């Protein structure tokens, strides 16, 4: 994993997270180091309970780590303690999150589900709706912009959710099994989209997945085993002829 | 973007049905307020209807409404001669019950001297009493019509309805009726034929008396009422009450128990409403836990979440209040007693509803603020 002559967007150093105390303590994450550069798409794999979602939640500033250091977009946000009091604002400004299920707000239509992030970020009503409409267009779901979440297919809902994650132009995009509810073709389309966004917006994309079919869409694949992170594959290195891509 | 409004619009049927139930509850609160207002108003109106400046009653009593008062009929002449008294009229008050078409009919019967203070005013239909006997003016809440004839007294004298008033009922809801003083005396003292025969046999009178309950005095506009009251109070066998004192007696003491009961019911209803609103808000918030978690996850501040809960609580309270008010106003004429809803009281109930909604929403707010953003990651569709 060579530096790309750019500052990393996500840098995790010696990150640990344990739950419980004493003999009941469970180490969910142990001494994790992870660096993701702009434009990179990183996959996190591992069996259930290996700590993938906990790591994602720590990066999303949802779960407080037990130790280590987190640097997001050049700012150290955690160093043995949170260094910022407004994690909500940090999430809003720097992080876009794509859930396993779209998690759209059931009482807002497609456009408003995207525009709400912009409203929270301070955009005015019409500006927010314009940007939301552009994003839905970009994600090829503009024809469903007035549909309520209950009226959207799984793929359409997931694309609206991706539009919401991208709305505030975040430098970090975290995705928790975004292709789980989709068939393989749609899963590939979503991953291609994330790759495109990473390139176009110079964003770091971290994807938790179990889906073997989409592994070729990652630059690096990490595997979490018993709370430890191992680099499984670096797809950015040139391969010797005759080896599997 | 108003999230509360969007959520209500999305679940409109549920909101309307929930609010319909709430509006019935708030309607009952408003109705009890109206009953309370009616109780006080009816009591005071009873005294106000006489348009008296001074009430002259039996010494040592708070008559004629709060306590029994009996004074000689010629007291009216004594009072009329006092300096400053412009007019005086003798009145009697009694409750009577008769039967019409097999149904009991109750009145609060006022005996008055036509043309003198104590006469009915502001007729809405018909005319004043012109004959000495058997004519009656009655409040329209009795259900009687002009020209109708009803039997009254032990001799079942037939009284013809010649005039109608409006809004003149006692604090217990009985319609007020007016007859001449002579008729009132007859109804009060006339014995049933067997009793009369026995009374005559033992050498007694024929059941008539010149007793009255009070004298109503109108004071000349050029003389101070308290001066006249002071002059009248020199007579040790009489007590003089001003109109204000009479109203205080009626509104504070005569209906004190009933007022306390109504007040207690109102307080209990407000508490019940608060509990029900709190439970509804809590349940509505519970239904939105995942949405709230998602909102928090994507960066919504606490004020957005609190605003969502509070705005829904207020919408529910305001919608329920006005629907309840409309229901009360629509069904008011069919209510068995007079409801008085003055703008001030209606405003106070509205303010209480708003405060109750705000207080009730704290339970939902507590729940919403405790929602962990990580709940948005829970794996359900």
Q: Which residues in chain A have their CB less than 8 angstroms from residue B374's CB?
A: 57, 62-63
pLDDT at A132 over 70: yes
Q: Report pLDDT for B83.
A: 92
Q: Quick one: pLDDT at residue A244? A: 45
**pLDDT score of B208:** 57
Tell me the domain boundaries of chain B: 3-43+257-377, 60-236
- Give the nearest partner residue to A120 out of B10, B299, B373, using CB atoms: B299
Cα separations in angstroms, A118 against A110, A114, A115, B241:
14, 7, 5, 73
- For A144-200, how does the pLDDT look when each residue is reduced to its tens digit (9 = 90+)? 889 999 998 888 888 899 889 888 888 899 998 888 777 777 788 888 888 888 888
CA nearest to B372 within chain A:
A62
- Counting Cα atoms < 13 Å in the Cβ hemisphere of A35 gives 10
Task: Give the pLDDT of residue B207.
Answer: 53
**B97 close to B106: Cβ distance less than 8 angstroms:** yes
Superfamily the domain A10-234 falls into = P-loop containing nucleotide triphosphate hydrolases (3.40.50.300)
Q: State whether residue B376 is helix, strand or coil.
A: helix
Please report the DSSP string for B244-287 in residue order: HHHHHIIIIIITHHHHHHHHHHHHHHHHHHHHHHHHHHHHHHHH
Q: Phi/psi of residue B52, each to 5°?
A: -90, 150
For A77, the 3-state DSSP assignment is strand
Query: Which strand ranges, in their side-by-side order, compose the sheet holding A26-36?
Result: A26-36, A10-19, A67-72, A75-79
Q: Which of B348, B275, B344, B267 is nearest to B22 (CA)?
A: B275
Please list every residue in chain B whose beta carbon sits closer than 8 Å to the beta carbon of residue A103: 290, 294, 376
Partner B, chain A 107-166, Cβ-Cβ below 8 Å: 107-108, 112, 115-117, 119-121, 125, 148, 164
CA B357 to chain centre: 27
**From the list A62, A93, A176, which residue is nearest B373 (CB)?**
A62
Outline where chain B has alpha helix (H): 3-10, 12-48, 75-80, 181-189, 193-201, 225-232, 243-248, 256-287, 289-297, 302-331, 343-370
- CA–CA separation, A39 vs A45, rounded Å? 20
Split at pLDDT 50, 70, 90, the class of B263 is confident
* Chain A residues closer than 8 Å to B379 by CB: 100-101
> Mean of the pLDDT values across residues A6-13?
89
């Amino acid at each position: 994993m060579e530096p790309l002559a750019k500052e990393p967007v996500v840098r995790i150093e010696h990150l640990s997270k344990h739950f419980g105390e004493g003999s009941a303590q469970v180490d969910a994450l142990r001494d994790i180091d992870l660096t993701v550069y702009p434009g990179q798409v990183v996959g996190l794999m591992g069996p259930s309970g290996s700590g993938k979602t906990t790591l994602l939640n720590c990066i999303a500033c949802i779960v407080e780590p037990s130790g280590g250091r987190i640097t997001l977009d050049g700012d150290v946000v955690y160093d043995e303690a949170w260094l910022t009091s407004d994690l909500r604002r940090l999430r809003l400004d720097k992080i876009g999150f794509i859930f396993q299920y779209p998690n759209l707000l059931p009482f807002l239509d497609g456009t408003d589900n995207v525009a709400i992030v912009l409203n929270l970020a301070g955009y005015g009503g019409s500006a927010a709706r314009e940007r939301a409409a552009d994003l839905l267009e970009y994600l090829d779901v503009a024809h469903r912009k007035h549909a309520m979440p209950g009226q959207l297919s799984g793929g359409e809902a997931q694309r609206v959710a991706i539009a919401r994650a991208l709305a505030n132009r975040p430098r970090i995009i975290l995705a928790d099994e975004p292709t789980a509810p989709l068939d393989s073709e749609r899963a590939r389309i979503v991953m291609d989209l994330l790759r495109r966004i990473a390139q176009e917006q110079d964003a770091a994309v971290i994807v938790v997945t179990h889906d073997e079919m989409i592994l070729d869409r990652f630059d690096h694949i990490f595997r979490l085993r018993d709370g430890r992170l191992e680099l499984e594959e670096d797809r950015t290195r040139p391969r010797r002829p005759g080896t599997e891509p | 973007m108003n999230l509360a409004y969007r959520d209500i619009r999305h679940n409109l049927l549920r909101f309307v049905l929930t609010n319909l139930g709430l509006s019935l509850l708030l309607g009952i609160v408003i109705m009890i307020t109206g009953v309370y207002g009616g109780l006080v108003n009816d009591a005071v109106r009873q005294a106000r209807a006489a348009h008296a400046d001074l009430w002259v009653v039996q010494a040592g009593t708070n008559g004629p409404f709060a306590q029994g008062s009996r004074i000689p009929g010629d007291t009216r002449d004594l009072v009329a001669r006092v300096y400053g008294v412009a007019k005086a009229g003798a009145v009697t008050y009694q409750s009577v019950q008769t039967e019409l078409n097999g149904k009991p009919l109750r009145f609060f019967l006022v005996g008055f001297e036509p043309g003198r203070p104590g006469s009915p005013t502001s007729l809405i239909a018909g005319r004043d009493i012109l004959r000495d006997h058997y004519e009656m003016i009655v409040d329209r809440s009795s259900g009687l019509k002009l020209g109708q004839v009803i039997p009254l007294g032990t001799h079942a004298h037939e009284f013809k309805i010649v005039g109608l008033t409006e809004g003149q009922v006692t604090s217990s809801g009985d319609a007020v009726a007016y007859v001449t003083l002579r008729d009132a005396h007859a109804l009060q003292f006339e014995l049933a034929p067997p009793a009369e025969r026995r009374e005559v046999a033992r050498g007694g009178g024929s059941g008539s008396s010149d007793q009255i309950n009070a004298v109503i005095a109108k004071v000349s506009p050029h003389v101070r009422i308290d001066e006249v009251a002071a002059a009248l109070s020199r007579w040790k066998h009489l007590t003089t009450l001003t109109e204000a004192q009479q109203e205080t007696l009626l509104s504070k003491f005569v209906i004190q128990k009933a007022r306390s009961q109504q007040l207690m019911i109102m307080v209990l209803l407000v508490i019940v409403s608060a509990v029900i609103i709190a439970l509804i808000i809590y349940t509505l918030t519970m239904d939105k836990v995942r949405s709230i978690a998602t909102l928090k996850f994507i960066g919504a501040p606490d004020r957005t979440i609190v605003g969502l809960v509070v705005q829904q609580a207020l919408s529910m309270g305001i919608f329920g209040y006005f629907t309840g008010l409309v229901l009360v106003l629509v069904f008011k004429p069919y209510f068995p007693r007079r409801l008085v809803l003055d703008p001030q009281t209606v405003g106070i109930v509205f303010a209480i509803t708003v405060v109750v909604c705000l207080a009730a929403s704290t339970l939902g707010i507590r729940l919403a603020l405790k929602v962990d953003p990580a709940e948005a990651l829970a794996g359900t569709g």
